[in-house]
Amino acid sequence: MSRRPRAVVVVTGSELVRGERTDRNGPFLAAEALSHGLAPARITIVGDAPAELEAVLREGLEADACLISGGLGPTHDDRTVELVAHAAGIELVVDEDLEREIESISRAFSERMRRPYADFAPGVTKQATRPVSARSIGLAGTAPGLVFRAPTGCVVVVLPGPPGELRRLWPNALASEPMKELLETTRPPGRRVLRLFGVSESAVARALDEAGGDGDGVDATICAREFEIHVDLVADAGAEERADELDAALTERLEEWLFARDERRVEELVLSLADARGLRLATAESCTGGMVAARLTGISGSSASFVGGVVAYSNEVKEAELDVPEELLVKHGAVSAEAAAAMAEGARRRLGADVAVAVTGVAGPEGGTAEKPVGRVHLHAAGPDGSLARMLDLPGDREQVRVRAAVTALHLLRALLTGSREEAA
């Protein structure tokens, strides 16, 4: 089996190194590289210090592709183009056509801002300066994306740092001659996805080992994501049969926890199931504060099935908006199976929904008792075909408890809508 070309991703920006912002470009570029047949070797986040940045770029040029984001602006700390040219041993030139293109944008901006163009001119020339062998693949504002082949043979792609601008120019990078030539030497790997809920990461690892493990052209990764376990099987050309065998062996061992074979989030599955049955959904939330509703409404077209939700944090709101009886709350408390059931039924009645899920619990870090410790959460999903309930004792800090409770609530809805009963265990 042939080696896939290696890709290195370099993300620049001192604000990322300092932890002031979270990198979104590295994961995007690595995933894109893999989907087009490259093998992502690493993602490196580096600050704007010249020595650090040049060292990372020099190392990146040893790969088959070096995908770089950030540092293309007009200011003194935007050094990516200068340093990648120096690392590659390539002369820098001012691209006159590119300079005129950037100048027209900058002049229009200077007029709107009522500032002299002379304030912008040095930055225009700086941004129009490129490695002599590089070609512009378009502008994001005044920042040009660039592609060239280094003397090492590495295809270098330089893209702006703002994620929206980077993603807009990425198709142009793929269409460039150097990148097309590189991608002609490979093909996208085969990929199989198993998404599991209700099983531990160690149990999945044991199942993988019993199934023969990866290797022989198949790379298997196990990743815990938001209380789910995702297994990715990536197969090189010629290893498809081995991937199929491993997939079948894992499915046999893990079938009771397998809920999807694609990348759709659980909220998408819930909405699709409800839409297929013509059912209207609602939520009633206490400790999650609307997180379940937010995930459902984050999906385009969710209004076809989702009617609304009630964040009932206080007992008064539970009583007034969800018809939870005061005597029930006095007897059992707001964090109880009885309260969750009443909240779900109240949401169905008050919001005119067919199916509703309720969440109530102690997210912490305060508020726990010996009887109801921090992390105790009750969930209840109710619909025309019956109901499902769960009690959880979730580990983690406040945010982790809330996220895990919201994800479990969505899976409880999924189980109810598919007629599965194992989620009630």
DSSP string, 17-84: HTTSS---HHHHHHHHHHHTT-EEEEEEEE-S-HHHHHHHHHHHTTSSEEEEES--SSSTT--HHHHH
Q: Is the pLDDT of residue 1 over 70?
A: no
Please report which confidence band the pLDDT of residue 45 belongs to, taking 50, 70 and 90 as the band edges: very high
Residues paired with 195 in a beta bridge: 230, 260
Residue 152, Cβ density class (10 Å: 0-12 exposed, 13-18 middle, ≥19 buried): middle
Domain of residue 324, CATH code: 3.90.950.20
Instruction: Give the closest residue to 139 by CA, choosing from 65, 48, 90, 74.
Output: 74
Instruction: Give the closest residue to 362 by CA, choosing from 405, 330, 301, 325.
Output: 405
- Both 254 and 303 in one domain: the answer is no
CB 222 within 8 A of CB 292: no
- Both 401 and 418 in one domain: the answer is yes
Give pLDDT, residue 115: 87
- Both 236 and 312 in one domain: the answer is no
What does the buried/exposed string (b/e) look like for 195-231 if buried means 16 or more CB atoms within 10 Å of the residue's CB?
Answer: bbbbbeeeebeebbeebeebebbbbbebeeebbbbbb
- Both 85 and 205 in one domain: the answer is no
Q: Is the pLDDT of residue 421 over 80?
A: no
Q: Is the pLDDT of residue 56 over 50?
A: yes
For the sheet containing 218-225, what is the strand order?
218-225, 228-235, 190-197, 258-260
Q: Is the pLDDT of residue 378 over 80?
A: yes
- Both 134 and 197 in one domain: the answer is no
Task: State how far the Cα of 297 lies from the Cα of 300, in Å rounded to an integer.
Answer: 7
Inside any domain, residue 1:
no
- Both 96 and 211 in one domain: the answer is no
pLDDT average, residue stretch 114-126: 89
CA angle centred on 118, ends 117 and 123, rounded to 5°: 90
Range of the domain at 173: 6-183
What does pTM read for this prediction?
Answer: 0.82
How many distinct structural domains can be found in the chain? 3
Inside any domain, residue 416:
yes
Give pLDDT, residue 114: 86
Domain of residue 116, CATH code: 3.40.980.10
Mean pLDDT of the chain: 95
Please report which confidence band the pLDDT of residue 2 belongs to, taking 50, 70 and 90 as the band edges: low
CB 310 within 8 A of CB 321: yes
Inside any domain, residue 77:
yes
